[in-house]
Structure 1
């Protein structure tokens, strides 16, 4: 007598639970379409525009973060080094190269969820364009890791996988469709504490 309602209730709970789980998993798996990839760096310039795809809009609604419009800036993230290995907080990395022209830019380290990685006390947690040591040709060299280095250095502690986040503000790159001229720094793994 109660067998049919129990089967219906079980079927509905599996359907709704499975659908919700699948939707959340798909949203976490992709940030949308239309990615710009330059070496290990990736950006989504359409994320805040009216042309954004449904996945990007869902990410924007789920994250609750304020994103940049096309004319305001562009955020590049790197989850792997230039050789394709996942970035880890247990390793130190060297960045060499240039950034696209921008009025201001910052470089910081986050975990995979986007939360900033806590540095050691009284050590630099990010780099910015106004306090950067550069060569005469505009290139720069920076080290990201747990041990202090001379020059440009970002402190990174803890464990687990990390991302490097390069935020360009007021840059013509955001509106550019020609990506052949975009140059971003190479990421080279130097040493790891667990090896």
Structure 2
């Protein structure tokens, strides 16, 4: 019998542009990721005559992807450009034109969490959502507060692909096992 894992923290977060293969490592600054399934809702048809049920025809809910909302505690202009659909020219960010639809690159979001055994880290669990399409980021500018953008995206896999991949690893990418 396998025991459940105690998972905690966002220890690494990678955003990979699927078109250019460019990887943006937002490290451990992504502090909060909401994950909500996108469902094709099933339905239940009941054949009822007066106070008697003669039959039930039911279809199940089907997951077609995930809605993701990520808070990053840094203002990473490269990630904003990918999620928003804008471009970068030197140090200047050019947002999407008002009132126009812009073709956005799809990206893969990969999140690493720690597996804990009491106080020690025993490994990492990796969550991967492919083919994410971003929405215009939200952020608040306020005296005395850091600007913490919120990114929203929908991950809709291609036919035959999984909606989310979850794996266990012993090290984080870019680290060497002693």
Normalising by structure 2, report the TM-score.
0.28
Larger % of strand: which? 2
Larger % of helix: which? 1
Structure number with greater CO (CA < 8 Å, separation at least 6) is: 1
